[in-house]
Structure 1
């Protein structure tokens, strides 16, 4: 059995891992950490919840503890870019827990909050910068972040970052790094754009993959409820009557839908919070804190949270709408069944959702089981009706 001791990490790291209950590495950690400790570049294909943060952060923390460097002002030794503020915050929290017994400093750089404290932290020099790409590029262009001492460059959830339009920004950052540095790229999917990016910024990388691309976790019980659009709210409220589900995330594909669902649940005395891009970072953090602590039972979110929330013990994920981009279905339901646990994912499907449901089933390579015995069921043809062949009469001679 492989355990963290087999990586021969510093005692302070091993003690920190014991303190937080990390004993056996996940498959992505088992495959990635040895290569990264050797200084290799790495291309990792893995979904959220597989332990990627420890996979890329433990080797850099080990390197920084065993080889201290005096940093010049506004310099750092590692850059970790992630697409959302929530994910950046959670990556930094993990790094703090892994490095709490070693002399390694990290800081968060992200939009939605004042940049002044971030600039002050950078002025002193910091080992690890965990950042969203937009704010990082902004501060870099203003001269508050300098790259000449960077040893490690990490892109987490790279496919989502490119979807957000940061391809050129990532290339620009990579072009300014020292010739000798390590690059790590993690992505949940492998579209052509990621392949192109990997070829540009990685040097003879080790490739690790722990699950088939776009697969869903086996321990998630998935089902779909067909209903008329006007009955979705009634169906949702009936599902929430199951009090055994104490921590629930509901995903909507638009901000206005989040507000409508939150208002519906609040009127029905369901404790609820929300996350979407119109909220300040403070409001989003408060919603996550309340949800994590159990102060609220339900969190309603847009896809901004589908890869940015890492909360244990989420009992149930409900797709109020099917996502237009099928890959987001995988990320949404991946909020449950974290770290080997079991979970449940339900999808509410009206006529408008049917083409998106078909795309999801094509992507994951299986049909999602239908629940028929509920009071708001409505029959829909799940497969596209075949076009009727036009009869061509036999030509008379």
Structure 2
């Protein structure tokens, strides 16, 4: 009798471009390079499907159909390819769709690529374009941007718990510290708590170190139902859970905007599917495009009690590097076996959560 095994999804290769202004590369070239580098890392020549996570290409680069465009540029013309859009969570959405393609039995091996190119436009245009991920009727169309929306959440948090905005300093300090050890990060500059406190406010209670900058990036992972070949002597990394949830896009429509219900729903479901608890997790790649979202995430998932960014695929790459001991200066000192990554679109309205485990 044939021995049927429960399907699994492994990350067998990964690659990333440095996050910076990619003036020399077009968006298709950025995607193609990350994909080919990831395929070379995995030691493969073909995939069954390509999943691209992108938010803004059609709006700011006048280029839709990134799936087919990037497939051709990567030498994979004819391969099934689609683009997934979920605002800032687009990379996480692409990762989940690649995972589901393998778990369903439709594909054996796929490539997932998170891709965004924004630096060729001025900041005002990009800010307005990103605002299309808000509830346009009641937010973006009325002049709101993600700076003002997140500033509103921050102010609501400060008012509710009667705390100083200075207490958010460690999010920026920690992010800059980690970036200094990551050669692919955009900014390599340590900041202090004093730097944060003295930084200018860019919108209401939001300081410049509370928000992520505009940049270009492309990262890719190869997913397969087959455990990786032992050509690189790395530990196996398996995705043991992939979940998604939503919340009202318009903040005003939520019962309690500070509850982050979608974050909690997706995150706790992922832990349940993987059969683990918070205490089992060795590291957490959270979506910290804004300090307030990072805060609400930690509280919603239970890491902290009240009160206290192509990014989704970059998270998967970084988690893979941590679990295979390839993170270089950013490698966690303790032995790591389980990683949690969460990608968020909008002001926590589309949430994708994955659990990665070293086998």
What's the TM-score once normalised by structure 2's chain length? Answer: 0.24
Which one has the largest radius of gyration? 1
Higher relative contact order (CA 8 A, sep 6+): 2
